[in-house]
Structure 1
Amino acid sequence: MVDTIETDETSRLIASNKVEGTAVYNRQNERLGSIYNFMVDKKNGQVEYAVLQFGGFLGIGNDYYPLPWSILSYDTSQGGYVIDLDKDVLEQAPRYSAGNEPAYDKNYGNSVYDYYGVTYPY
């Protein structure tokens, strides 16, 4: 008999395909966008960024906003992640358009984390 492995969700873990597409709200319950993907450090396995897809209309003209994973909190009542940011602050945040991904190097990481007031861990 072959044991099945939980690949969807456990009490502590969630599969990446369930995170992608999850809504992101601010503290005012405004939907800001959704998680497009997230960036994982190859060596230590830690999630460094969640990339928020925000803006545009029907998927056209969206921008991508790397968010430090540490600023996201999962809210079970909303079924999504919550960040303590106003839309105006997010609209000024570091971002990129489709096809123009940043290098995600230490300098970029510092600039993103600094914008959100958290310490870049690497």
Structure 2
Amino acid sequence: MNYEENDTYGIYKANTAGGIGADAGQGPGPALMGAHTLIGNDVVSHSAELLGEVKEIMLDVHSGHIAYAVLSFGGFLGLGEKLFAVPWSALTLDTMNKRFMLDVQKEQLERAPGFDKDKWPDMANPEWAEGIHAYYGRTMYSL
């Protein structure tokens, strides 16, 4: 699934003829996107290897930042899948292929700190957040 398929409000419809952002005067383009439309988008490595999909987007309501994308990886039909919080800044939107890119290989994601859908970490814990940002080589945003 991709953001155009999730677009129930027609956010991106005005840009479909020339691709997202083709006409800067119509629609928000790739600079502003609906959070709901990004849920379910594939995430691939720079070598186009499928790493998972976006399951949730975590907002820091105090600062107004998008803190993390929660990705699913592995499992079958939702069973045995592992979830990962990836700093939003580690993802790049690939508008040509309508997916996200993450600059890690599958093996690095397999070793990443993850969690079970029934046991989420305390993402507001600064020590946890610093560790996740460090793992993906990202600077922690200001709280």
TM over 0.5: yes
What corresponds to 1:79 in structure 2?
98
- Structure with a larger share of its residues in strand: 1
Alignment of 1:34 onto 2:56: no
Unpaired runs of 5+ residues, structure 2, are 1-8, 13-27
1:107 pairs with 127, 139, 143, which one?
127
SS at match of 1:112: helix
What corresponds to 2:84 in structure 1?
65
RMSD across aligned C-alpha pairs, in angstroms?
1.4
CA drift at 1:53: 0.8
Equivalent residue pairs, number: 117
Unpaired runs of 5+ residues, structure 1, are 1-5
CA drift at 1:7: 7.5
TM-score of the superposition, structure 1-length normalised? 0.89
Of all paired residues, the percent bearing the same amino acid is 32
TM-score of the superposition, structure 2-length normalised? 0.77
Segments ≥4 residues shifted beyond 3 Å: 6-9
CA drift at 1:98: 1.1
Distance in 1 (CA, whole Å) between partners of 2:104 and 2:35 is 24
AA aligned opposite 1:100: K
What corresponds to 1:96 in structure 2?
115
